[in-house]
């Protein structure tokens, strides 16, 4: 069965033969291995061009910023999976990555699309960016939807990672329209929501990376790539200092049961 167009069967990323491996026009063994760092290579794989020094620096900083944040849900899921299947490192990594969605890890993409939408609206309508931003926030507020990139359960007075990334963007000459917009939103959000919702790292990442000419459609790939490194570190520790079953066991002791009781059974021990 043919699905979709069939007349454009090409890829511009990599090809190989018996003697060479061509990655976007560069020979892997002689022009890339030992010649470029992994951050630059990631950018090159995505875009087909090597990053400028400031682009590489800000991407490197972002990858470091989002790689690790303790026993967050992705790390817990991975560690419990490895405890149950110690022969499946790849499955445990996958378990951690599969939770990359609108609440955890994947919110960078949502914020990036929001920023791009506001800037596009301002350009198309000719209105000031602040007016377009205010209207977009009011629309979210009316619909009772969260503001992507704002608020944090722990860093209530400001996400230190976000503050640092914005500072680095300015230092490296990367800060542009997206950073300016996220700073405008930071001023408008408390006004419209009536309470402080500090910028978090998932708001800073798309702002600095879009200004660094990183592809919008690949934004979710940044936390996926970075968090994979953190997951492997947790799983390596899990192999020698296992806490996976402790995490699972804590669920049975902290989560109470409030479903139907068995006929004639005592409910004295239920929490």
| pLDDT tens profile 105-138 | 778 999 999 999 999 999 999 999 999 999 999 9
The pTM of this model reads 0.90
- CA nearest to 202, candidates 74, 98, 63, 108: 108
What is the per-residue pLDDT for 8? 77
Tokens 């402790």 sit at which residue? Answer: 246
- CA nearest to 159, candidates 186, 141, 139, 180: 186
Residue pair 126/132 in contact by the 8 Å Cβ criterion: no
Residues of the chain with pLDDT under 70: 1, 152-156, 266-271
**How are strands ordered across the β-sheet holding 21-23?**
14-16, 21-23, 26-27
| DSSP SS3 for 177 | helix
What is the per-residue pLDDT for 118? 97
Classify strands 14-16 and 26-27 as parallel, antiparallel or unpaired.
unpaired
What is the set of domains in the chain, with CATH numbers? 14-50 (no CATH), 107-218 (1.10.230.10)
What is the per-residue pLDDT for 194? 87
DSSP 105: B
Residue pair 182/200 in contact by the 8 Å Cβ criterion: no
What is the per-residue pLDDT for 267? 55
What is the per-residue pLDDT for 215? 97
Q: What DSSP letter does each residue of 30-70 carry, written as one string?
A: IIITTTS-HHHHHHHHHHSSPPPHHHHHHHHHHHHHHS--S
pLDDT tens-digit map of 58-83: 999 999 999 998 888 999 999 999 99
SS3 letters for 116-151?
Answer: HHHHHHHHHHCCCHHHHHHHHHHHHHHCCCCCCCEC
Cα–Cα distance list, 85 to 76, 94, 97, 141, 174 (Å): 14, 13, 16, 44, 44
What is the per-residue pLDDT for 270? 54
């Amino acid at each position: 069965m043919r699905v979709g167009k069939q007349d454009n069967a090409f890829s511009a990323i990599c090809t190989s033969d018996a003697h060479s491996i061509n990655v976007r026009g560069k020979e892997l063994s002689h022009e890339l291995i030992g010649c470029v760092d992994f951050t630059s290579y990631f950018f090159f794989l995505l875009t087909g061009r090597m990053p400028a020094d400031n682009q590489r620096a800000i991407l490197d900083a972002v990858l470091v910023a989002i790689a690790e944040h303790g026993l967050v849900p992705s790390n817990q899921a991975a560690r419990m999976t490895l405890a149950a299947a110690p022969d499946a490192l790849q499955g445990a990594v996958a378990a951690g990555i599969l939770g990359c969605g609108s609440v955890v890890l994947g919110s960078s993409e949502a914020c990036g699309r929001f920023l791009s939408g506001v800037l596009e609206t301002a350009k198309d309508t000719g209105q000031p960016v602040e007016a377009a931003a205010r209207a977009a926030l009011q629309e979210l507020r009316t619909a009772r939807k969260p503001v992507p990139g704002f608020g944090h359960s722990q860093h209530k007075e400001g996400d230190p990672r976000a503050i640092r990334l914005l500072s680095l963007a300015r230092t490296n000459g990367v800060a542009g329209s997206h950073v300016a917009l996220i700073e405008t939103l930071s001023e408008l959000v408390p006004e419209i929501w009536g309470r402080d919702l500090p910028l978090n790292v998932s708001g800073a990442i798309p702002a600095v990376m879009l200004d660094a000419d990183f592809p919008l459609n690949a934004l979710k790939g940044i936390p996926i790539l970075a968090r994979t490194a953190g997951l492997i570190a947790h799983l390596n520790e899990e192999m020698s200092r296992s806490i996976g079953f402790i995490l699972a066991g804590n669920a049975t002791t902290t989560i109470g049961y409030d479903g139907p009781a068995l006929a004639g059974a005592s409910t004295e021990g239920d929490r």
